Amino acid sequence: ASNMEWSKEDALRLIEAFKSFPVLWNPGENDYYKKNKISDAWRDIAMNVGRPEDDCQRRIICLLLSYQTEKLREIKSIATGKGSSEVYCSRWFAYEALRFLEDRVKPRPRIDTVS
């Protein structure tokens, strides 16, 4: 069952499950670096979607890479100062569902605490 295709619906369900575990994607999360919390989260996600953990992880990696590519295309099209009609708008099915990761893609300013 490992090579089963992922339908768009299944992929979106996977994204929703992934989103509900910030420990997997938010470095500001207290448990972000705790291995046991991470494996618990993946186990829950796998049960939720009814797929093996490694399948879920592989699929999420693919989805995240695609999201990053789409997001960077959008950022570049805005940065070139094109008119709004020429700004790249992603039509990729999972783009909106992954918008919660937006802050992880755009370059974040570093804040120096030295005053």
Q: What is the mean pLDDT of residues 72-91?
A: 80
> For the chain, what are the domain ranges?
8-102
pTM above 0.85, yes or no: no
State the pLDDT at residue 109.
52
pLDDT score at 89? 87
- Tens digit of each residue's pLDDT (9 = 90 or more) over 24-73: 998 888 888 888 999 999 999 999 999 999 999 999 999 999 999 999 99
Query: How far apart (Å, rounded) are the C-alpha atoms in residues 60 and 15?
Result: 7
Using CB atoms within 10 A of its CB, is residue 53 exposed (0-12), middle (13-18) or buried (19+)?
A: middle
